[in-house]
A and B are shown apart, each in its own frame.
Chain A
Amino acid sequence: MINPYLRNTTADYITGLVSACEGIKDSLVLLNGPLGCRFYHGYASGQSLLKASELWGLRGELRLENAMEDALIRSQYFAGTPQIPGTNLRYEDYIFGTREQLNRALNDILTERKYSLLAVIQTPGTSLLGEGLEGDLDKISGEFHIPFLFFENPQFSEDPCRGYDDAMVRLLELLVPASKCQKKSGGKPKVNLFGFHTYEKYLEGDVAEAERLLALCGIDVGCVAGANCTLESFQSISDGDVNVVFSPERCRKTERFLRKHYNSPVFCTSEMPVGPDLTEKWLREISALLHTDCGPALLEIQRTRARMFYYIARFMGGQGFPGDLRYAAEGECSLLCGYVDFLSNYLGIRPVCIHPLYASNEEERERLTEMLRQIGAEQVLDFDIMQVRDSILLGNANTILAVTAYSKNIYGIETAYPSSGYIHVTPKTHIGCAGALYLLEQILNGVRLLRAWR
């Protein structure tokens, strides 16, 4: 009766805050709120990372050496991941204030083990109370020698990109003062990567592929902000020769901050390097900026192209992908640009719906529109995804599920969380060479199934 798409299946500002702060290794991200606000993050986040803390609940012979104390890990502060506990408030705490409970939780947790950073996030209910908790946090931070951030306003219905961006700037302000900027001289050039977060579907694989390809270009990666980087590596961001920004939607303020406070240039990728062409473009540009030789990386891309040719030619034949094959995709504009370039410009498949998520700005939308215009498909922008049928659908599992339920013949390729639950042991990616191969693999299998279902 009511088209459910995007009414409530996109993430919120708090998710953005959490995913940026959780991206510092061994940080403690505490949600000051009732169980309701915390429960989701406790279970949903950090799925793409391999963290010892996820095994703290094991008992018996498998109990880890540094596991958290049993009573604490089984307390209500922690349901799900131990990195994102909550203060577990009741309604009375809204009336009498949350200070005592917050202090209690922090003392219990910080006494038990050492964390690298403390981020306290007010949840919708507690944000209305307007308690000035900085004083308490300041005191605790002094006692336990831990830097802290306090996010007082969860911005209610804002989107996660803004949350991530705001948190990243606060992290930089706190941990990487401009005065500390020190460039090392000599050696391989070093870049920092921005725009990744722990809610990323293929975080480990994306980072590994970016690092691998940059290494082939003779470029080292210093810090990958938001991707389980250590505090030390985050603090050394100012040493980087270039700050590389993926997903500009998530990094608008971050980008401005980097430009203003640190001496290094910022290289912003407005199209995610999905597929061989955009990967090549990306690597050539960075290499040119840093005067390195990207030859070995280009060779790798050529091999990837050759391999893809074989599989497309073998399974699709001389005509390539069927003319009536369609795909739909949702995501941030930069990611969609990547998918459109690979699926349409490289593989030759027509889109049926391209749906940008979150607050993309005009420039980003325009770039995407232009890309679609060039293939005569600008009308698919914002087309109702629920009307899509007989298509490959790139999106999160909620969307795939909703479209599958009310449409026909949908082959879903998950590009974002939440997921269907498939467990990825081998790190996967959709970017770079490895990403192009994996995505092609999914598409080829998808085409087969779509044909069979007809």
Chain B
Amino acid sequence: MQIAVYGKGGIGKSTVSANLSAALAKNGKKVLQIGCDPKHDSTRLIRHGQKIRTVLDYLLHTPVDEQTVQDILMEGYLGVGCVEAGGPRPGMGCAGRGILTSFEFLNRFDLISHYDTVIYDVLGDVVCGGFAVPVRSQYADAIFLVTSGEAMSLYAANNILQGIRNLSPGQKRIAGIIYNSRGKGDTPECVENFAAAAGLPVCVRIPRSTTFARAEMEAMTVVEQDENSIESRIFMELARQITNKLPLYPALPLDEEQIEQFLRGEAWTKAAGVPVQLEKTSKAGEKAEVTAFPSPIPQKRALSDPFSRIPLYGCAYRGAVDLAVHVKDTAVLGHAPKSCTWYAVNGISGYSRRGLYERGILYPAFIPQNFENTDITMQDAIFGGVKHARRKALELAKRGAKSIIAVTACIPGMSGDDLTPVKEELESLGCEMYIVRTDGVEAGDYNEGMALCYRTLAKEAVRREIMPEKDSINLVYEHTISSKTDENYIAVKKILDELGIRINCRFLCASSMKDIHGFLRAPYSVMVREDQLGLELKQIFETEYGCRFLPGVLPRGFRETVRWTELLGKLYKKEEEAASLVQQAKMDYEARIRKLKPVFAGKRVLIFLTDTNYGWLFELAQDLELHVERTILLGMKGDSNPAWNRRFSADWASDRRNLEEALEILKPNIVLLNEPSSLESVSDCCRLIPVMRDPGCGFFSGAERAGEWVRLMDRKIEGRWKSDKSLFEKYYS
């Protein structure tokens, strides 16, 4: 039989467990007592004060292939087997996981099967999953709750009942209450009333007595010290009850309100939930009275809705790491299990693997050469992994890292690892550390992780003492994973080079920590794109450092780029250079459009878009002399921006069916749409052209996109492969 003894810390459950083990052993049982309290003193009385090595301490210091169960199993009074699970120091790591790990270890050696009675002595203040392990069906057959009449003790007992009910709803697993009197302020009625309310018997009542203190001083159980004492007889009686098969009861905890009222000296009757004083004579264990209590309805909480969230690339840890690797001269320290980093690194390297294969281009930023991971182990999770992270960080510093971005995953978040002391220590060694505390998913999804990394570096890494230098500019908030990033960078750099303006810092794309420190060197910055996070970043730079930004984002299409170049010319006092650049670009652009016109001019077009950032598309349509029959925008008219309304008219549609209807009526030659999945197919005489939201920046980006459309204007040949769908289904479904 396996018995779990649960109780609030300090309630005397270890004394009870030890005495019970002793009494059972005296009854001829082969007993194993397992202490599941990080305090690890459960078996002290059985072992006459001799300490034993805890399982967790043993696992921490012994190589796997040298581990044996004999090393942590000790014998005590009458051959009682003694094991202490142990746990981390208070405030560190995860004690619950510690209990789980200890049980996994004991299972490896099938220890439990060698005993006929097992007593688990479990801390009941915390009923997290780990501490609930002994309650799981493969372990305790019967559960005792040790409590006094004090409010907090009863509260803890009720919590434990809740935990048990959640783990094994409806099952009868509670043996009853062991009332351990604490003397003053502890009234037996409270315990009896609670027992009655929860439908449980009070199995034994242990009086407050100096016998326990005397036995404690001799580091032995009262059962061993004086078998004829009243206290000893109580435990012998409990052992007898256990040996004679205990009746078991279901866990019927009081709900929050009920326990509150109860602790105020009131209890609940079934009828209308009206609090009334319970009859003091109500007999414990008379279930009929109490099972009728309204069973507490668990509070409903919103679940993570799998049908509503926007799909992203992963968790915040991954988002932060994806961004951090872009700081070239800085090491990234992932404080995470190998799993998390393996997923993250493959996400990052996927881009460069494809890049090399598809384009023969090596993207060094995506080959994370400066990435180190702490490879968190189970021990780190249990005891806290700061030491481990510190060692890795110091190694990085020793290998020459001048700055480190540390990103934390879920496990350190849950174990409460704080890397601030490591940061301070590194600083004294001349190595900076920036801690991006995503704690895995705590910070949210991928985007939130990126945001946190952006914010941390924007606020902490920019040096205030730097003086502005003329003729330089910062690019802020480039896409880090986009095939367009390089193209855009090259296009904008070309314009800036022509004007004699240097790019000071790309925040954050293939930049160095030195660039970030020197962000304020540039008198102006420009946002590459703008969304909510982009705006927030801009605000940080403006309010924290008084940075000045060019209006809007990098220009798309010819006209926008002309305006942007002229503005740059004005701001940097390079009007002449700007004018000649624009003039040259104009000639080139017109030549390109002339070439394209024969393909597009006069074609009737239907445009279907899901947002309004397509000014460049309408300008291009105008230049190509396309005949825009109708523009349908998915969304509400209120979503539109004024500039859009002034320049282009559009129908606002609420769903994709409007597109199909318009197709039917208008029969256009071309459909330009930004979400190709909106339309499965079109008629033979119509061409479907997907358009990107970001056509790239610079004078010629629009014309270049139109150049790519030319091939799509040819008649599409429908392959016969589609008719083999049935064969696929026949052979592979």
Listed in ascending order, the chain A residues whose CB lies under 8 Å from chain B are: 1-4, 7-15, 34-37, 39-41, 44, 50-52, 55, 59-62, 64-66, 71, 75-77, 79, 87-94, 96-97, 99-101, 104-105, 108, 123-125, 127-132, 134-135, 152-158, 397-398, 401-402, 404-406, 418-422
Contact = CB atoms under 8 A, between A and B. Distances in A.
Given A75-B306, A90-B441, A401-B349, A35 B314 contact: yes
B683 to A, nearest CB: 14
Given A418-B350, A420-B354, A37 B339 contact: yes
Contact of A156 (B129, B312, B338): B338
A108 B304 CA distance: 14
Interface of B: 94, 96-97, 99-100, 104, 128-133, 135-137, 166-168, 301, 303-304, 306-307, 309, 311-318, 329, 331, 334, 336-343, 345-347, 349-350, 352-354, 356-358, 362, 364, 367-373, 375-378, 381, 396, 399-401, 409-411, 414-415, 439-442, 444-446, 677, 680-681, 722, 725, 728-729, 732-733
A35 B331 CA distance: 26
A91 B316 CA distance: 11
B104, B307, B315 pick with most chain A CB within 10 angstroms: B315
A61, A79, A93, A398 pick with most chain B CB within 10 angstroms: A398
A1 B331 contact: yes
B441 A13 contact: no
A29 B733 CA distance: 19
A421 B357 contact: yes
Contacts of B345: 8-9, 398
A71 B337 CA distance: 33
Contacts of B410: 34, 94, 124-125, 128
Contacts of A90: 304, 441, 444
B94 A128 contact: yes
Contacts of A37: 315, 339-340, 343
B129 A88 contact: no
Nearest to A154: B339
A40, A71, A94, A96 pick with most chain B CB within 10 angstroms: A40
Given A4-B369, A128-B94, 18 more contacts: A1-B331, A9-B345, A34-B410, A35-B446, A40-B342, A44-B346, A76-B309, A91-B441, A124-B411, A124-B440, A130-B97, A154-B337, A156-B339, A156-B375, A401-B356, A401-B362, A421-B354, A421-B358
Given A124-B411, A153-B104, A420-B354, A36 B128 contact: no
Contact of B347 (A40, A77, A422): A40
Contacts of A92: 301
Contacts of B96: 128-130
Contact of B136 (A59, A125, A134): A134
Nearest to A15: B342
Contacts of A101: 303-304
Nearest to A93: B304
A10, A36, A96 pick with most chain B CB within 10 angstroms: A36
Nearest to B439: A91
Contacts of B440: 34, 36, 91, 124-125
A153 B100 contact: yes
A100 B304 CA distance: 10
A70 to B, nearest CB: 11
A419 B346 CA distance: 10
B349 A7 contact: no
B722 A62 contact: yes
Nearest to B168: A135
Contacts of B441: 34-36, 89-91, 94, 125
B204 to A, nearest CB: 29
A167 B152 CA distance: 44
A401 B132 CA distance: 47
Contacts of A66: 729, 733
Nearest to A65: B729
A156 B337 contact: yes
Contacts of B725: 61-62, 64
A39 B312 CA distance: 9
A135 B171 CA distance: 11
Contact of B338 (A79, A89, A157): A157
Contacts of B104: 153
A50 B306 contact: no
B381 A156 contact: yes
Contact of B364 (A3, A94, A158, A405): A405
Contacts of B343: 36-37, 39-41
Contacts of B94: 128
A2 B354 contact: no
A55 B728 CA distance: 11
Given A90-B441, A135-B167, A12 B337 contact: yes
19 contacts: A4-B369, A10-B342, A14-B339, A35-B445, A37-B315, A44-B346, A61-B725, A64-B728, A100-B303, A101-B303, A124-B376, A128-B130, A129-B129, A153-B378, A156-B376, A404-B356, A405-B362, A405-B367, A418-B349
Contacts of B306: 75-77, 88, 105, 108
Contacts of B317: 36
A419 B353 contact: yes
A148 to B, nearest CB: 15
A2 B331 contact: yes
Nearest to A78: B306
B340 A124 contact: yes
Contacts of A422: 357
B337 A35 contact: no
Contacts of A50: 732
B340 A96 contact: no
B338 A40 contact: no
A126 to B, nearest CB: 9
A91 B442 contact: yes
Contacts of A108: 306
B368 A4 contact: yes
A77 to B, nearest CB: 5
Which 5 interchain pairs have the tightest Cβ spacing? Answer: A36-B315, A130-B129, A40-B343, A125-B410, A157-B338
